[in-house]
Structure 1
Amino acid sequence: MAQAKAKSESRPRGRPPVRSDEETKRIVFEAARHAFAVDGYAATSTEELARSAGISTKTLYRLFPGKAALFEAMCADRLERLLSAVDLQANGDVDIDTGLRAALLACADLALDPDVVALQRMVLQESAAFPDLAANFYKNGIARTAIALARWLRVQVKKKLIAIDDVDEAAGMLIGMVASAPQRAAIYGGLPLPARKDIERRVRTCAAIFLDGSRVKAT
């Protein structure tokens, strides 16, 4: 009897730990990323998203006011994590050649990430019916990537390592040079995204072309 009582007292009581909102959001983002990429934005319902994430629609609406808000938050979350690599390089104590290659590689990894390309394909397909999708994707993705790279370039200009009249324009040109062609080939031509070694080779070429034209020459 005493032994049974001891077992009863040692058994944990109460409900299992409740998952935090942040953990739940991560699960919802993964479910939404897959559903949007496979089925498209219009065809994906909030009920379907809630079911895929294993939560109630009430919980989904508590976390996100609607499908558009979920899409924006999902893009921001994914891009925030990928963009952190670019931000880190701005503070790195490395030579400009190494730093630029690292920054461009981070931008290429973002622009050519399979999830990002799939989302961009979906946004292009549905932008006529849902124009806010394209605006949000541009704000949270393309524009922020260029801003992060421009921040890195501005540091190099202040160090007098390169001379550029307009760092924002240069950042856009660099991202276009390193990622636009393979991205368009994947979205419009149905070609596979480049392998890692091909991305790295493209980054080295783009960095060399840019630095040859902007590097401050020693006098």
Structure 2
Amino acid sequence: MAITKTRASGTEPRRGRGRPQARSDDDTRALIVAAARKDFASSGYAATGMESVAKSAGVSTKTLYRLIPNKAALFEAVITEGLDRFAARIRLRACDNDDLEAGLREALIAYGELILDHTVLATQRMILSESDTFPEIAETFYNKAIKRTESTLANWLKAQADRGLIKIENAAEAAGMLLGMLAFQPQRAVMFGHTPLLGADELAHRARIVAGLFLKGCAR
């Protein structure tokens, strides 16, 4: 007599794995921008091509061009991605801090972590060396990175002035001075003196000194 095996009650038949879930365009774009950041910093602007970035990111060239149409747009995405995170951090954390000095320290630390970074410094070196041939990359960096960073901090300073906590005549000018106080000397030391980047404790210490000096000068 043939014996028919029955599946245990309550169990489901095993299914094949099937196709993996597709990656979202946002996630794919993030991979592309991360790969481009490394390629621009290590190879330079002229030597970095869309095809090489696609290969580094592990995506097809067709996908890359669908999400980012050309190298100029890709470079702009590299520059603005870090600034988006910086601006969000200022809005969500520094601006919500009732302690003025702590809020300013938070803003300065966020900026220091953004700008005092090996890849960012390598990108700046690349811009300096290739801007005569590609002036558009210097213009992009100035408008999308330098001016936007100053504007983000200037808006924070103006908000504190509107609250009556500090007295400043020109928020944009004050923001530029603050950022220079924090980062200019460490940047030069790394780029020209080949000294190590500031560690987290060193950056926090520098931010505390800069914030204290600034607030003493503009306190009401």
TM score, norm. by length of structure 1: 0.88
**What does 1:33-44 align with in structure 2 at a 5 Å threshold?**
33-44=37-48
Structure 2 unaligned spans of 5+:
8-12
The answer to whether 1:206 aligns with 2:210 is yes
Change in 2 beyond 3 A, CA 1:18/1:214: same
- Percent identity for Structure 1 against Structure 2: 47
2:125 partner letter: R
The counterpart of 1:123, out of the listed 116, 127, 136, is 127
Change in 2 beyond 3 A, CA 1:174/1:15: same
Task: Work out the CA distance in 2 between the residues paired with 1:42 and 1:2.
Answer: 68
**What does 1:130-209 align with in structure 2 at a 5 Å threshold?**
130-209=134-213
Max radius of gyration: which structure? 2
SS of residue paired to 2:96: coil
Q: Give per-residue Cα distances to partners, 1:162-197, cap 9 Å, x unaligned.
A: 111111100000000111111122223332211222
**Which residue of 2 is the match for residue 101 of structure 1?**
105
Q: Give per-residue Cα distances to partners, 1:103-143, cap 9 Å, x unaligned.
A: 11112222212222222122112111111111111222111
**Which residue of 1 is the match for residue 32 of structure 2?**
28
Deviation at 1:3, TM superposition (A): 7.6
Task: Work out the CA distance in 2 between the residues paired with 1:83 and 1:115.
Answer: 19
The answer to whether 1:73 aligns with 2:72 is no
1:155 partner letter: A
1:39 partner letter: S
Q: CA RMSD in A?
A: 2.2
8 Å Cα contact 2:82-2:114 kept in structure 1: no
Equivalent pairs, count: 214
Task: Work out the CA distance in 1 between the residues paired with 2:195 and 2:6.
Answer: 68
147-156 vs 115-124, greater mean Cα deviation: 115-124
Structure 1 unaligned spans of 5+:
none
Change in 2 beyond 3 A, CA 1:43/1:2: farther
